[in-house]
Structure 1
Amino acid sequence: MRGRKSFSMAEIEKLKQLFMEKDEADSDEQMSIRRKMRRMNFYISDFYHDMNYEDFIRLRNSGRITITDIDKKVKSNDVAEFLCNNDDNQSNKIRLGNNENLCSKNAEPQDNENFKEGLEPWVDEHSEILILGSLPSDVSIREQAYYQNKSKNSFWKLMHGLFGEGPDSKEFLTKHHIALWDCLSAANREGSLDSNISGGERPNNIPQLLESHPSIRRIVINGKSTARDYFDRYFYDLHKSSIEIIIVESSSNANSIEFEAKLEDWKKILK
């Protein structure tokens, strides 16, 4: 971690303002704003590959960013008001209690043309390993089955490399105690690329899935960028739990690493 994770309330307020400006800025202006953040010893790359205002609020509410002078200036109930009171264009309020301290991006409107909803989890009572992606491709959503755009993704080839030949099916995975789901249940996205996700994000209830399937002992995050970012945004507390979390090379063919190297990396999910 290059920067700090503790800031005064005045610094938090300044960072909130910079994030609001960044969300509306073009690429050149964003570079200038990020430099201002770095001068405050705040580095976006310490947390995610990219960040917006809501992500920053979520970091603070999860405790990953702390305020150094809370006790001197405000009571605890006032901290939430301070963090989530936005200007006229941003009116989300923090929801206190029951681990719902989120000023959520879910409040963003759906893009009716590009709003994509994911799939139900593939899981049964014998599942031991949960593999998480980000959001299914358009082909998978249309066919209501995971990783169906096989010319663009080597997921099933990796599964057969781990477990031998068989059908590209839920039954094949559950036979080998593998569960499959995504970090997001829905989002605005043009096409199938994760890089085209443009808000409207709704996280899946992964904690509830784990609670209802206690046989799951390991989470595997498919990819070291997008899926990992979404997992950290919405489920960071799982890093503190007893469940093991493993991050592997993305099965997407956009990841230029050779297949044999990917397969070798994925073998660690079975150890």
Structure 2
Amino acid sequence: MLQPFGFTQYESKIYEALISINEPLDATGIVKRSGVPRSKVYEVLHRMSEKGMILESTVDKKRQYTALPIESTIEKLKADFEANVEHLRNIPTVETPSDDRVWTLKDDQSIQAVQREMIKEATDSIIISGWADDLRVHLPLLEEFERNGGEVEVHTIGELNTSITNVSVLVPNSMHEALERSRILIIDHQVMIFAGIEQNVWQAIQTESQPLVKFFKEFFYHDVALTEITKKYSDTILEDSNIRELLLKLRY
């Protein structure tokens, strides 16, 4: 019950045992209901008390315990979370010079979060490519950046309803069935992140290495060029099997 919020398994079991009964319990009752070993129960109860998750009382020289009510627990967990976030936000950071290291990152939510922060920190230009449903989450920031005078270039797989001026759209058809999902984001021609799916898991690399930034910038324009060629000469491409097979070996 409480493990997702950073509590131990024993702490979670004791809280669940106390909250699921409408009467206080002593240590013996808690051991029976929770399955926490007697050798550990007092230690865990002490920690829970220190964290403000249980109430204690002494009745007839016997220590009894009850759980903090659910709604109070929810409010406490929210307050603790917000306090921790504020603490994290206020940790002083030291500005470091750019370097050529390549950082790896996993988990789609983490990658999207890093992309949002990169977009927010842009000052001059943003180059971004990806599938339309992935790009939509960033549209408000991208559109605001362009309205404020920034340069935005977008390459999207699938239709994207946006006010951004410079958008290249590839509408997939049967010829593009093998297309793999990926994302490129380049900020101010200085830092980039490339993300793709490997073994059904999103993984990314992020770097300020200028050779890699230049490579992925050219990769972006390569995709744009292929899209425009496909649009303009689609009839020729579909009729010529050699050209079609060659293009299908390239990434859009």
TM-score, length basis structure 1: 0.21
Q: Which has the higher strand share?
A: 2
Q: Which has the higher contact order (CA 8 A, sep 6+)?
A: 1
Q: Which has the higher helix share?
A: 2
Larger radius of gyration: 2
TM-score, length basis structure 2: 0.22
